[in-house]
Structure 1
Amino acid sequence: MSPRDITFRLLARAARQRRQLNIAPIARAASTSASASLASSSSSSSSWQPALPSGASPAYDAALSFLSAHQEKALAKLERLRSRLDLSNPDPALLRRIDKLEVEAYANDPVVRRQFRETGGKGEMGKTINRWLAEERWKKEGGLDLLMQRVLQMNVVPDILPDVPPTAPLTMTLGTSLIEPGSFQQPSSFASPSILNSQLFHHPALPSTSSANPEALHTLLVIDPDAPDHESHSFSQRVHYLKTDIPLSVVSGEIDLFDSSLGTEVLSWEPPAPEQGTPAHRYVYLLIRQSASQSPSTSNISSRENFDLRAYLNENQLTSSDLVGINLVRAKWSLEEDGFINSVYIEHRGVEDGAPVFGKVPKAVRYGYPMSAKRQRMEEAREEVWERAVAELEGLAGEVEGLVGERDEPEKIKA
């Protein structure tokens, strides 16, 4: 059949269906997620209306008719798959097929898309289609690309992690402002922790009849890998926050992870305090899914200093693939922030003198190699000149003291 004949047949079918065209399947809301597909579909409303009235454009009518027919077929298949689902012990492979078919049924539904644009899926992330649309938006609008660029560009990999798999958004907000990953922030802005949200796109555990949106426990870590190490003249990791056993599911995207009612706080919030003379500090936020078989061990974390993230993951039988979300900000010392940084050292670290001031470490000390013969002769000559100058100054000081003493003695009165 020629393309011309196909076109005429489509237009003829559209004309026949024009009067009885029903966009109800298109207007129907997306059903609940594959996990929530264990429940019945719900209806929703949207401001979407067809762009053209029926009959104004046969091609437009034919397109809507095609979308409606395609959706009806997909929904019929979906119902058949759901009928095969064992609600008490669902098959993971079958759940994945249901998820995929549900997305296929509603991905091109103009009502669903309009509703998602208007609400962002807020309050309805139990639906597979909303989570799929949110993940696609995060990827296509550059959210994931920007995050991965900053994480790799700023050497979070390999400094503290061997690699970073694609993750879910871990969003930081100060007031009403969204914080861009890797941006510079004033330390005083984090006197209290920012609002931190995580939106999971996939169920952390298998759904069941009793739990359509199952939860899993997570750990939140905030690490500064640029804390100065006095002994090694290098840097070590310092923990600024640690909380375990945070229950999260796909519908927990609006929960603030710093909420005191969630999880078990092991180490309370310590504000950033980049010291004078040190480079910019990276403050890395990590959300890690805990092992279902055991709670994480924190007994070895006796202080915030000299933390080792890789050792912590190994100890708790975790890997970088268990990372759910990551974000980071940077901060550095400035004269305007000096008072706040000193107050953090005094109030949170117990250092009465405030924050230390660091200078540039000599190369010989930094890299641990001996000085060249020429450099050593120069250093010896400099030290000899310095000692001679000090001796001369001490001699001059003695002479001055003697002169002052003679001047202060009272003159003897002649008899």
Structure 2
Amino acid sequence: MESDDIIPDSLDEAPSAKVTVIYPGEKEVDLGKELTPTDVIEEPKVSWDADPKKLYTLSMIDPDAPSRENPIYREINHWLVVNIKGNDLTTGETITPYRGSRAPKGTGLHRYIFIVFEQSGQIAVNEQDLKTERRNFNLRKFAKKYGLGKAYAGNYYKAQWDSSVPELKS
């Protein structure tokens, strides 16, 4: 994660574990491997080495909006689920529904980062705008506000514009 500047762009230090992310069609996320927006349009299966008695938060962000050279919307919140028991996402509370990669035309490769935090207990997220406003999310501030500490597990892929997937304005 250091080689692609995820540290320091979005995290202060590397997570100690890996998040396994597999999209339909057996497209697996592998630390910076490029995938197409078509590959990642549907919600993936996500897992990590988890204690089934503990709670976790899963976040997926794009720190490169609208481009890596000009990230004025850093970070785009692509997915946020809290209070996950172990690594069973069906037990968690989805704050921001999953949205796959849709980099704007001509903006180059974007990094799409999956981060898992171990929670010290149940959290109540009271920010309604996280359900609708995806731009200018700040993973560091969110983690600090909810006492999440350092990232426990992570993974990422890169993707760029793909004419077969419609662009979104936000």
- Write the letter of the residue equivalent to 1:312: F
Distance in structure 2 (CA, Å) of the matches to 1:314 and 1:304: 19
Q: Is the 8 A contact 2:57 2:118 kept in 1?
A: yes
Deviation of residue 271 (structure 1)? 1.6
Judging changes above 3 Å, is the alpha-carbon distance between structure 1 residues 164 and 179 closer, same or farther for their aligned structure 2 residues? closer
* Deviation digits for residues 367-390 of structure 1 (CA, Å, limit 9, x no counterpart): xxxxxxxxxxxxxxxxxxxxxxxx
* Contact 1:274–1:341 (8 Å) recurs in 2: no
Classify 1:226/1:298 alpha carbon distance in 2 versus 1 (closer, same or farther; 3 Å).
farther
1:111-260 aligned at under 5 Å gives the runs 151-167=1-17, 169-174=18-23, 175-200=25-50, 204=51, 215-228=53-66, 233-235=70-72, 236-248=74-86, 255=88, 257=89
The TM-score, its normalising length taken from structure 2, stands at: 0.85
When the two structures are aligned, how many residues end up with a matched partner?
Answer: 164
CA deviation map 1:213-270 (0-9, x unaligned): x5111111100000128xxx5431010111111101xxx5xx5x3xxx3211111111
> Distance between the aligned counterparts of 2:142 and 2:82, measured in 1?
13
In structure 1, the residue matched to 2:166 is: 341
Contact 2:61 2:78 in 1 (8 A): yes
Give the 3-state SS of the residue equivalent to 1:173 in structure 2. strand
| C-alpha distance after superposition, 1:256-292 (max 9, x if no partner) | x3xxx32111111112111112121000001111122
Counterpart AA for 1:288: F
SS in 1 for 2:64: strand
Deviation digits for residues 301-354 of structure 1, max 9, x if unmatched?
44111011111111112321xx22101010012xxx224133xx27xx5xxxxx
Higher-RCO chain (CA-CA 8 Å, sequence separation at least 6): 2
What is the alpha-carbon root mean square deviation over aligned residues?
Answer: 2.2
Residues 22-61 of structure 1, C-alpha deviations (whole Å, 9 max, x = no match): xxxxxxxxxxxxxxxxxxxxxxxxxxxxxxxxxxxxxxxx
Contact 1:275-1:341 at 8 Å conserved across structures: no
Alignment partners' CA distance in 1, 2:83 and 2:6:
25
**Aligned 1:253-292 pairs, distance under 5 A:** 255=88, 257=89, 261-292=90-121
The answer on 1:319 being equivalent to 2:163 is no
Match of 2:157 among 309, 312, 329: 329
Q: Is the 8 A contact 1:290 1:296 kept in 2?
A: no
Shift of 1:296: 4.6
Partner of 1:71 in structure 2? none
Partner of residue 295, structure 1:
123
Q: Does the C-alpha gap of structure 1 residues 339 and 178 become closer, same or farther in structure 2, counting only changes over 3 Å?
A: closer
Tell me: CA distance 1:297–1:276, structure 2 relative to 1, closer, same or farther (3 Å).
Answer: same
Q: 1:300 to 1:157 in 2, by over 3 A?
A: farther
Deviation at 1:177, TM superposition (A): 4.5
Q: Tell me the distance in 2 between the aligned counterparts of 1:234 and 1:172.
A: 25
Question: Are residues 234 and 264 of structure 1, via their aligned partners in 2, closer, same or farther at CA, if it must alter by over 3 Å?
Answer: closer
Secondary structure class of the residue paired with 1:187: coil
* 1:362-414 superposed Cα distances (whole Å, 9 cap, x missing partner): xxxxxxxxxxxxxxxxxxxxxxxxxxxxxxxxxxxxxxxxxxxxxxxxxxxxx
- Structure 1 spans left out of the alignment, 5+ residues: 1-150, 205-213, 350-415
Instruction: Give the Å deviation of 1:195.
Output: 1.6
CA change 1:305–1:178 in 2 (3 A) is closer
Percent identity between the two aligned chains = 24
1-side partners of 2:14 and 2:124: how far apart?
20
Cα separation, 1, equivalents of 2:127 and 2:165:
31
Which structure dedicates a bigger proportion of its chain to helix?
Answer: 1
Deviation beyond 4 Å, 4+ runs, structure 1: none
